Amino acid sequence: MQVREIPIKNKIVYIVAVCFITLLLWLSNEGARPLVYTGTKLQHSVGLIDSESSLVLSDSVAVNGVVASTPRYVMNKGSYTAQLDYTAEEEGSVLELWEQGRKVAAWEIDPLQPRLVADFTLSKDAKQLQMQINYSGKGMLTLKKLSLTPSTMFYSDTFFVIAVFLVCSLLGWKLFVERSIRLTQEQLVDYGIILGVALLATTPLMQTYLYNGDDLCYHLARLEGLKDGILDGQIPVNIQPDGLSENGYLNAMYPYLFLYIGAFLRICRVSIALSYKVLIFLANLGSAVCAYVAVKSMCKSRRSVILAVVLYTLMPYRFTNIFSRGDLGETLALIFWPFVIAGMYHIVMGERKKWYYLVIGFSGILHSHILSAVFVLAICLVTALVWCVRIVREKRYIEIGKAAGISVILNMWYLVPFMYYYFGESLNTETLRWSGYFEQSINPSNLTQSFSPYNKQYFALGLALLGCVGIGIIRFLCERDKKRTDKDGYLLYLLVMGCVLTYMITGYFPSKALLSNELFENILTMIQFPWRFLGPASACFVFVGAIGLSDSHILKPYRNMIFTLLIGLNLLIIVSVPSDNSHMPYENAEAEASKGHESKLAANIGLFYPHEWRIEGASDDKLTFSVIVSEQNSASIRQYQKKGTKAVVVYTADKECYIELPIQSYFGYRAYDEEGNRLTIERGTGARMRFTVQGDGQEHTIHVRYGPNPVFIIANLISALAIAYIVWQIYKRRRGSQESSAQAI
């Protein structure tokens, strides 16, 4: 078929439009604009507000010390200028700069000047940068305006957006202008729906602020820590070097593969908020793609495939995880549940050559959320038991063996460090069991919710997924005369599985009684929250409803109506996401950049390092920034430097004593003296590194670094070789199929 040539005029219009939009994006760059606070917008608990929005302090408040401050920022390294406009009657007040609870700079507020201009440089990225005004308690101090200006820019968000736009424009040129990428009309519609649904699911994040979910502060800390670990030279990253007040925090215990995307953006100076939002968009897109591919492998109906894409991507539990719980791990894990369900089907009764679906699904979930991976193993075991006779009769245990073996080999690079630390390190894992499960169960009436404009956190299936349950019930109760296929049996299994998981969420499940049994107590307290089962239950119901709608004879006359009804009900999920009821992104012209800055610098959220993966005894009150000496009169520290996971300390001691470094002594650290001799690392107060020093009065040096661990290296090599082999086999097969096609022509 001859392709019609695009007129040159249309090509010029396309190029001009792209250039014009790029210019508009560049003009909207906020990255270099100052971060501005009027006196009233500073965090404060004392003082009066005057008519010019200034904060007025006087000795009548009978308070001295820190009286006003900015939020805490995640700030890129570089040079900055702080400017404070004020009037002061007495000396002694100070503008201070703090990072992770430590004062790093201070400037006197001169009463003879109306403005203080202070330049400072951050040698590395800051985790909790904050500016504070320390009031002397004497005379009147009026704080008019505090601003912070970067020498270059706070972040490169605009340039990242421009780069993405240009890549999309190039793709559009190849697709619609040059037409070098050939897609059928059906493919264009399907891919357009997938992209549209992913964008629709992301629209609540298109704000000038970042939603503060329950666990978001931890996942932002993981993102920062992963970036720091990469810059430290760790691949993979097992230790977050600057986490936990620069004492280091274990990274190997929570899956992080997909966070490398956000970490790479952070290395390119993209703000932490946009890096996180990009991850969420990719999670939405990945969920739509996986639902599309998985359902399409089991059902040829386009209506069913599109229905599954919309229902799965916009299901309520995904939105609860993203906007209320801030649970990035489960959000990423939900991407791959459709592949797990389709993979189990193909292994036990479908196209056995598609066993790799289960490998992809399990591996994706393993690198997203450990507990979800345990759920996958449990469900796979139950599935294998249900169809054990068929598996043995048709020798499908071969595919099971392939899936299990390849999954272990591919993921050894993560599994080995995880098992190494989980079973070999004295981690504070008991904090994982703080929930008793039963008190977190939900009322069944909540399952019907499709939107809840007044309740931020809700756990529901939604009316659309309950409709899928109805489709399944109609098929298996009202169409009993129909000859059952293997796929029908599997869908019935998914319906029962989904109902059982949903029952375990509710208060009717006897979880409180089961807690009296030690075995069940260990299982339930490890799960923590019963609503975790909503994810796999929802996935099961999506398959039951989407595929069942196409196969049902009773519902055949109503398919279009049911399809439209289910899509419409699920689209209501978007309006359920709570907002701050502010339609305007900025409060006023002076604060034009401030609200966007605060969000992008995570000032409204902050970073948090939980107790779960700390070494026992490493509580916050035990953390320190300096070297501790047991005998102050007998030993002195000449120098201490730490960069990433590497540290150097120089000391002299007149008698034998010990020193403790402000570094958590996780397994994998090594220490050497100035002559290269290996030193023993002991565990001191607060899990700090402790060294017994030489008391000869001479100057000695201790060098500390993390890894490399030979066991970890071997695991990395095995996984890398397995990935390389799989890529080579795929390349060979595609090349062989292309050569066969060419010969046939």
Q: What are phi and psi of 43, to 5 degrees?
A: -70, 120
What integer pLDDT is reported at residue 436 of this predicted model?
76
433 and 324 both lie in a single domain? yes
Residues 73, 600 contacting (CB under 8 angstroms)? no
120 and 63 both lie in a single domain? yes
**Alpha carbon of 88 to those of 37, 81, 143, 738: distances in Å?**
18, 21, 9, 79
What integer pLDDT is reported at residue 593 of this predicted model?
58
Residue 102 maps to which CATH number? 2.60.120.260
Domain end position, chosen among 541, 576, 611: 576
Q: For residue 386, which of 429, 418, 348 has the smallest C-alpha distance?
A: 348
Q: Which residues of the chain have pLDDT under 70?
A: 1-4, 450-458, 576-595, 737-745
Residue 585 lies in a domain: no
Residue 197 lies in a domain: no
Residues 647, 655 contacting (CB under 8 angstroms)? no
Residue 700 lies in a domain: no
64 and 26 both lie in a single domain? no
135 and 167 both lie in a single domain? no
Strand 249-250 and strand 646-653: pairing? unpaired
Q: What is the DSSP letter of 607?
A: -
What sign does the dihedral 677-678-684-687 (CA atoms) show?
A: positive
8 and 67 both lie in a single domain? no
116 and 25 both lie in a single domain? no
Burial of 589 (0-12, 13-18, 19+ CB in 10 A): exposed
Q: What are phi and psi of 697, to 5 degrees?
A: 80, 0
Tell me if residue 497 falls in helix, strand or coil.
helix
419 and 451 both lie in a single domain? yes
Question: What is the rounded radius of gyration, in angstroms, for the C-alpha atoms of the chain?
Answer: 30
Q: How many structural domains are present in the chain? A: 3
Q: What would you measure as the largest C-alpha separation in the chain, in angstroms?
A: 95
Beta bridge partners of 239: 250
Cβ neighbours of residue 708 closer than 8 Å, sequence gap 6 or more = none
76 and 165 both lie in a single domain? no
Q: Could you read off the pLDDT of 75-117 as tens digits, one per residue?
A: 999 999 999 999 999 999 999 999 988 999 999 999 999 999 9
How many Cα neighbours within 13 Å face the side chain of 332? 27
Residue 695 lies in a domain: no
**Alpha carbon of 474 to those of 169, 381, 478, 549, 585: distances in Å?**
47, 28, 5, 10, 48
The three-state DSSP-derived secondary structure of 450-485 is: CCCCCCCCCCCCHHHHHHHHHHHHHHHHHCCCCCCC
Burial of 429 (0-12, 13-18, 19+ CB in 10 A): middle
Cβ neighbours of residue 402 closer than 8 Å, sequence gap 6 or more = 355
Beta bridge partners of 145: 38, 85
Residues 282, 259 contacting (CB under 8 angstroms)? no
Q: Quick one: tokens of 63? A: 């308070």
Kind plus residue range of the DSSP H or E element containing 106 = strand 102-108
Burial of 718 (0-12, 13-18, 19+ CB in 10 A): middle
Residue 630 lies in a domain: no
318 and 345 both lie in a single domain? yes
Domain of 495 in residue numbering reads as: 252-576
Q: What is the rounded CA–CA span in Å between residue 159 and residue 27?
A: 11
Q: What is the DSSP letter of 624?
A: -
165 and 314 both lie in a single domain? no
Count of all residues that appear for the chain in the document = 745
282 and 169 both lie in a single domain? no
What integer pLDDT is reported at residue 1 of this predicted model?
43
Tell me if residue 744 falls in helix, strand or coil.
helix
Q: Looking up tokens 């703080």, which residue turns up?
A: 434
Residue 667 lies in a domain: no
Q: What is the rounded CA–CA span in Å between residue 627 and residue 617?
A: 18
Residue 137 lies in a domain: yes
What integer pLDDT is reported at residue 205 of this predicted model?
87
Domain end position, chosen among 552, 576, 600: 576
513 and 567 both lie in a single domain? yes
What integer pLDDT is reported at residue 141 of this predicted model?
92
Domain end position, chosen among 104, 135, 150: 150
What integer pLDDT is reported at residue 441 of this predicted model?
85
Distance from chain centroid for Cα 740:
44
Q: Quick one: tokens of 495? A: 């319906």
Residue 508 lies in a domain: yes
What integer pLDDT is reported at residue 282 of this predicted model?
97
